[in-house]
Structure 1
């Protein structure tokens, strides 16, 4: 790590082994300038709590990470292996369990954890907030809304949903407590950052009114079963072979877009077809909202990633820093061998890049409302210069016992 050029150390293991991860953590954490650790791991590694918990719980530095379908370093996408990032800026972490629990009041939990709205907690001073969460949890939006209500504007939020292409919930969040399921991790970073968000998906049908939904499951559009409306549109577009057993093979090319007044549509990725014709998405689709069916092509998606980079560079204010890239795994599946073009649009050979191909993305730009996106590119540049959060502000916040939900 060079004090003048980058605030991070980035070390990569391509084997996906637990012992190799331990070696990376040892090497990175031994540098006295490192103040926090990030871990990006691939689902193909097959990590389990039994294997990882002793290793994670033994770390003295604050730690945040997740397991993803693929991870990114520089211009390279890995489907097996692990990246450890040593941060040269302050990091404080908070674990929020129960991300599908209908009884959890996330506002109450966060207020207790951070000490209330008038608390001098470092979370309220952090200019950058990293959010890593289980991408298949059923109450992501209520958590994200509670976080934004409490912390508000004037800071950059970025992050993504952990998970694998099996699309089954399992322990995916890495922290000092261990490897956790159905949880979110909030990392308060003591560094300024800039951000760009874009997706490149365009409407081909709609709008349709969401007349019935349950959380992440879309039941009816315009009072008809959601799949009936969806199938009819795709058949008019020439897509006739929709295999219910492999619905995601088609749906990843035709997501939904939720209308937002004065803002770009928020994409929702339908990945599971139910026998009753309802569709489960990554993220909630609220009853009463309006959605379009979207489509894109190689040019529109690659151009959108380039636009996200330009947005971040326009607002950064100073060159340099480390680039973080959260890019939806559905974009990889859609672009296939052309995905390298998208990554090349974001990667600069003179700037470190690290990130993940995620299941949903979390972002705002310091002013607009915080959102949980799907099928979107999120580019953030973390500044070199550290900002003190608060004297002694390091490590995980400990107001509740591990796994306790108020």
Structure 2
């Protein structure tokens, strides 16, 4: 993978990166990770994206990662030295879309293993605040199945608005998902480090991403009582996320680690909106963590990924929830150091929700979780490069 970085966040600089990376020998696809602070708009970006001849996958995130560095302004362009096929799914919040049928038609599936779609790695980038992420993820996994690595994350910014965030050959899109089939073996580690401090509570009423009642009481009433018992006595309704990012929900899974849900919005009726759906009838705990547990979890995700290392060389992809950054603050450098290997290039994003499986278990949309993937060396990494090379050391 050929990796180049612009730290200014400019459109012209992005154009130069795209030209430079796409012209290098062996590059067959482009991964673009951009910061929300860049202020990219469809009017600025679309003419540039429409001109790209190579398949392109990317998104806008609160922050992006290059090596041991977190950038809050700028853009990373990575050249993929293996075939990349992309598929864009619009209307990720549309209640009338049958995602299974849409994907079947888009992929022209005629059997369990359609030609060209058996890539070992599936990159999924999507609008992190879309209201029907889980039905889309379930449909995707139902059609493509096990035996491959899925990874990715939710695009968006800390403004939590619904602006266009998905970068692809069609332009800068809102409320969409992009699926990239990458013909490179990969390995995956997933861990979060949040531990239960109260519960379980039954979700007695919910609507998609909004939890209305827990144990037949307004969700915020239950949530506030727990936090007050734990010593958190000041919860500002106008800045609910300041407290909630330290106390997420954890959805119970049989025989597996809890799936974290990040409540970020409090409504006047006492309901709580999360990043990702919480199904009625499920059971949730309230979780908490500390610096040690979160950093240790990121290191564990790296360790698991390395245990299934696909081969020497290659690139590490890291999708890490932006809520972990906000929780750890100046200590986030420790989490990034726990994942970064100075001898291996790393690119990634601080995302709004994470997509992952491990090649065998069920595909999930996570929150507040570290997802580490090691990609095998691809063709672009071994091709001679006529001009200066900007690999990480």
TM-score computed with the length of structure 1 as normaliser: 0.92
1:342 corresponds to 2:335: yes
Superposition deviation, residue 316 in structure 1: 1.4
How far apart, CA to CA, are the structure 1 residues paired with 2:110 and 2:359? 19
Superposition deviation, residue 124 in structure 1: 2.9
How far apart, CA to CA, are the structure 2 residues paired with 1:295 and 1:261? 20
1:351 corresponds to 2:344: yes
Compared with structure 1, are the counterparts of its residues 123 and 268 closer, same or farther at alpha carbon in structure 2 (3 Å cutoff)?
farther
Superposition deviation, residue 116 in structure 1: 1.9
Superposition deviation, residue 318 in structure 1: 2.6
1:25 corresponds to 2:7: no
Task: Indicate the SS of the match to 2:308.
Answer: helix
- C-alpha RMSD over aligned residues: 0.9
Match of 1:114 among 107, 110, 128: 107
Superposition deviation, residue 321 in structure 1: 1.1
| Correspondence list, 1:271-290, <5 A | 271-290=264-283
1:375 corresponds to 2:393: no
Q: Residue in 2 aligned with 1:241?
A: 234
Q: Residue in 2 aligned with 1:15?
A: 8
Offset from partner CA, 1:174-233 (integer Å, 9 cap, x none): 000000000000000001000000000000000000000000000000000000000000
How far apart, CA to CA, are the structure 2 residues paired with 1:288 and 1:178? 39
Q: Residue in 2 aligned with 1:196?
A: 189
Superposition deviation, residue 319 in structure 1: 3.0
Q: Residue in 2 aligned with 1:63?
A: 56
Asked if structure 2 preserves the Cα contact closer than 8 Å seen for 1:122 and 1:188, the reply is: no
Compared with structure 1, are the counterparts of its residues 57 and 246 closer, same or farther at alpha carbon in structure 2 (3 Å cutoff)?
same
How far apart, CA to CA, are the structure 1 residues paired with 2:32 and 2:192? 25
Superposition deviation, residue 121 in structure 1: 4.3
How far apart, CA to CA, are the structure 1 residues paired with 2:346 and 2:113? 32
Compared with structure 1, are the counterparts of its residues 63 and 122 closer, same or farther at alpha carbon in structure 2 (3 Å cutoff)?
farther
Asked if structure 2 preserves the Cα contact closer than 8 Å seen for 1:117 and 1:150, the reply is: no
Which blocks of at least 5 consecutive residues in structure 1 are unaligned?
1-7, 387-406
Match of 1:222 among 215, 223, 237: 215
Asked if structure 1 preserves the Cα contact closer than 8 Å seen for 2:311 and 2:377, the reply is: no
Task: Indicate the SS of the match to 2:359.
Answer: coil
Task: Indicate the SS of the match to 2:104.
Answer: helix
How far apart, CA to CA, are the structure 2 residues paired with 1:74 and 1:164? 21
Task: Indicate the SS of the match to 1:125.
Answer: coil
How far apart, CA to CA, are the structure 2 residues paired with 1:142 and 1:181? 18
Compared with structure 1, are the counterparts of its residues 26 and 344 closer, same or farther at alpha carbon in structure 2 (3 Å cutoff)?
same
Task: Indicate the SS of the match to 1:100.
Answer: coil
How far apart, CA to CA, are the structure 2 residues paired with 1:120 and 1:315? 24
1:139 corresponds to 2:132: yes
Task: Indicate the SS of the match to 1:316.
Answer: coil
Q: Residue in 1 aligned with 2:198?
A: 205
1:88 corresponds to 2:81: yes
| Correspondence list, 1:36-47, <5 A | 36-47=29-40
Superposition deviation, residue 374 in structure 1: 0.1
Task: Indicate the SS of the match to 1:32.
Answer: coil
Asked if structure 2 preserves the Cα contact closer than 8 Å seen for 1:95 and 1:184, the reply is: yes
1:323 corresponds to 2:296: no
1:301 corresponds to 2:316: no
1:261 corresponds to 2:226: no
Which blocks of at least 5 consecutive residues in structure 2 are unaligned?
380-393
Offset from partner CA, 1:48-103 (integer Å, 9 cap, x none): 00000000000000000000000000000000000000001110000000000000
Match of 1:162 among 155, 160, 166: 155
How far apart, CA to CA, are the structure 2 residues paired with 1:319 and 1:53? 37
Match of 1:79 among 72, 79, 92: 72
Match of 2:141 among 136, 141, 148: 148
How far apart, CA to CA, are the structure 2 residues paired with 1:136 and 1:170? 10
Task: Indicate the SS of the match to 1:362.
Answer: strand
How far apart, CA to CA, are the structure 1 residues paired with 2:110 and 2:209? 30
Q: Residue in 1 aligned with 2:387?
A: none
Task: Indicate the SS of the match to 1:356.
Answer: strand
